[in-house]
Structure 1
Amino acid sequence: MDWMQFVSALVSALAWPAAVVTVVCLLKNPILGLIPKIRSFKYGELHVDLTEQLKSVQENLPDTPSESDANVPPSLPPPDALQLAAISPRAAIMHSWFEVVNAIDLLVRRSGLEINANTNFKMDVLRKREVIDDLTHSTFRRLSKVRNDAVHLTDHEMGYEDAVMMSTSCAWLIEQLQKGTPPADAVI
């Protein structure tokens, strides 16, 4: 192998890696700008789509109030949640979730229970004691997953509509929790 063949082999071996590095350097900023706009994420078996999860929760909520609730208007998010959603959708989701946690704590105290555990455990106890129904419990579980995804998947874009859907669902859940009372024959 003479020096010309050596240079030729060296250039051909380094051409592809150099081209890839150059393209990545040139497109780094546009690619980084697109990452936060991703609404769903899939990697192997993991698939996260926040909008789809929120729509799923809202589809399972009852559309029409029961006969006893006929005069009660449907759950609407509070105006402050709508204002916050316009400014920061992720913050609006967190705000709505904190209101749910406060409603759960209030229901636990009202039920005469002393539970010093996480919110999931409190809801499990409330369900076992029939203070809340299955729909309320399952809605809580699904909203909890949406909240966790919103908090921990910070590279995903959260939209105003997502925040409003979460606030509406949380308002419904809070309403259900406020209705929850321990059964008369419950042993506490």
Structure 2
Amino acid sequence: MLMDAFVDILRTIIWPLAIVWVSYIFRNELRGLLNRLSLFKYKDLEAKFEKELLEVEKEAKEAEKLLDRSLPHIADNEQEKIEQLLRIAGISPRAAIMEAWREVECALNDVAKQEGIRVKGLVGNSLSADKLAQIRGIPRENTDIYTRLKYLRNQAAHVPDYVIEEREARRYVQLAIHLAGVFRLKPNE
């Protein structure tokens, strides 16, 4: 009788202890697995992307008010590029985001060349964006937008399970092209 009670207690305790012990041994692997599983909550990620995009859009509206000059009219070839990116968004939202980001990088690269700054490859870091914005007299808020758009682009590029809707990609394209236009502004325009 006493032995049966002892065996029952042991059975009750042994499984939780075994689970804790195995979890401790494989803690690094489990941590990676749990991070991976959290990525499958694609609706949460989608909501996070949407929330970030909304915040960037608000920042862009505020930053535009701070510009002491207005953006020039969009040229026909630029309008074609925007339309092409919007079509790509319908097929592959991720690709549209990547291409729109490339437009921002190309704008920074063009500005660097115009300002006589020697660059290798594409200008693609926040420090370069800060420096070029300062040279061009562009409000700091635009470099914050640059950083946030870059973060969203990185999420789209490097998180394989990141789900991006077409409408979000279209909004990202509009923001990125707008930002590229802001960086291309000359100081006296």
Please say whether Structure 1 and Structure 2 have the same fold, judged by a TM-score greater than 0.5.
yes
Q: What amino acid is the match of 2:94? A: R
Residue 176 (structure 1) aligned with residue 182 (structure 2): yes
Residue 54 (structure 1) aligned with residue 58 (structure 2): no
Q: Give the aligned CA root-mean-square deviation in angstroms.
A: 4.2
Residue 38 (structure 1) aligned with residue 43 (structure 2): yes
Decide whether the 8 Å contact of 1:104 with 1:119 is kept in 2. Answer: no
Report the Cα offset of residue 128 of structure 1. Answer: 3.9
**More divergent stretch after superposition (140-149 vs 116-125):** 116-125
Distance 1:38 1:154 in 2: 14
Residues 98-126 of structure 1 deviation map (CA, whole Å, 9 limit, x = unaligned): 11101110011011111346432321221
Name the count of aligned residue pairs: 167
Alignment partner of 1:147 out of 147, 153, 164: 153
Distance 1:68 1:126 in 2: 18
Question: Identity rate of aligned residues, in percent?
Answer: 23
Structure 2: state its 5+ residue gaps.
Answer: 17-36
Matched residue of 1:79: which SS?
Answer: helix
**1:162–1:113 distance in 2 versus 1, CA, 3 Å:** same
Matched residue of 1:62: which SS?
Answer: helix
Structure 1: state its 5+ residue gaps.
Answer: 17-31, 42-47, 184-188
Alignment partner of 1:98 out of 95, 102, 105: 102
Aligned twin of 2:173 = 167
Report the Cα offset of residue 12 of structure 1. Answer: 8.0
Residue 108 (structure 1) aligned with residue 90 (structure 2): no
Distance 1:67 1:121 in 2: 23
Aligned twin of 2:89 = 85
Report the Cα offset of residue 160 of structure 1. Answer: 0.7
- TM-score of the two chains, using structure 2 as the length reference: 0.65
Q: Which one has a larger percent helix, Structure 1 or Structure 2?
A: 2
Distance 2:44 2:87 in 1: 22
Aligned twin of 1:25 = none
Decide whether the 8 Å contact of 2:45 with 2:163 is kept in 1. Answer: no
